[in-house]
Amino acid sequence: MDIEALVGTASTILDDAADPFLAGHRAGSAVQKKGNDFATEVDLAIERQVVAALTEATGIGVHGEEYGGEDVDAEWVWVLDPVDGTFNYAAGSPMAGILLGLLHRGDPVAGLTWLPFTGERYTAVAGGPLIKNGEPQPPLGPVDLADALIGAGSFSADARGRYPGRYRVALLENLSRVSSRLRMHGSTGIDLAYVADGILAASISFGGHVWDHAAGVALVRAAGGVVTNLAGEPWTADSESALAAAPGAHEEILEILRSTGSPEDY
């Protein structure tokens, strides 16, 4: 499989999807999902457009956030999030993008993250380098958390679940003692792309959706970063969390996670 060629084809398809993405900014809820989550008409339309084009051009099935599709355990599968940061997108914030990962037997071997509002296009193939707007980027170097930005997932303090809100509050409190530069962008895909680009030293995701992570995991790994779950185990398509970071910063945050204790204690 010529993965570089597949990424080139996928890039053209995402470029075609950027215009309706930009035009649909501030689109309202069209489909109510679990909890207070929702999808806009733009989510649905872009997924249909990209799935049809990818399937025809590459012959590889697609698993999308809104319609499902090909099994993520397939030998080859594209994983698509047509609008990552839907709440941001609907509210008029530019912190939203299109995420597309290519999995081979569950392993992200390529990633594409399109941020149309900021004009940033990230691609990577396993082995690197990270490509930003067509230009190869230098690999990530060691980072000291005290001098860096850290991205974190959003939450309600009173929420329950695998990572209760009180646990997240405690973790962010402990992180703030090391770095006062915590950031909550509301888009997992942007956080992961910005780790790969060296803008963030690390990103913590409390979610387990493969479409949120696949593209960004490929980007971070290609850039020389490390991606695990919050327990420090290698990230897989079945992981229910993600910790992505530059060398050095990853181990620092793992130590903070360990000192915070188990989510079950909260």
- Read off the pLDDT of each residue in 98-127 and give the average, rounded to a whole number: 98
For residue 237, pLDDT beyond 80: yes
What is the pairing mode between strands 29-32 and 38-40? Answer: antiparallel
- 71 and 171 share one domain: no
Domain membership of residue 49 (yes or no) is: yes
The last residue of a domain, from among 93, 112, 136: 136
- CA neighbor of 133 nearest in space, from 217, 2, 11: 11
Domain containing residue 223? 145-260
For residue 176, pLDDT beyond 60: yes
Phi, psi dihedral angles at 161 (to 5 degrees): 105, -170
- 55 and 123 share one domain: yes
CATH number, domain at 211?
A: 3.40.190.80
Residues of the chain with pLDDT > 90: what percent? 84
CA 149 – CA 156 distance, rounded (Å): 22
Residue 233 burial by Cβ neighbours in a 10 Å radius (0-12, 13-18, 19+): exposed
pLDDT tens by residue, 70-111: 999 999 999 999 999 988 998 899 999 999 999 999 999 999
Position 56: which residue type?
Answer: E
pTM higher than 0.75:
yes
Which segments are annotated as binding site for Mg(2+)? 65, 81, 84, 212
Q: Cα 262 to chain center, whole Å?
A: 24
- 102 and 219 share one domain: no
Domain count for the chain: 2
- 119 and 153 share one domain: no
**104 in helix, strand or coil?**
strand
pLDDT tens by residue, 26-81: 876 555 555 545 577 888 899 999 999 999 999 999 999 989 999 999 999 999 99
- 245 and 160 share one domain: yes
Position 170: which residue type?
Answer: A
- 256 and 203 share one domain: yes
The Cβ-side half-sphere exposure at 161, using a 13 Å CA radius, reads: 16
- 122 and 7 share one domain: yes
Which segments are annotated as binding site? 65, 81, 84, 212
Domain membership of residue 231 (yes or no) is: yes
CA 118 – CA 106 distance, rounded (Å): 30
Q: What is the pLDDT of residue 28?
A: 66
CATH number, domain at 40?
A: 3.30.540.10
Distances, alpha carbon 109 to alpha carbons 35, 63, 128, 235, in Å = 32, 15, 10, 13
- 130 and 153 share one domain: no
- 103 and 217 share one domain: no
Domain membership of residue 27 (yes or no) is: yes
pLDDT tens by residue, 189-209: 999 999 999 999 999 999 999
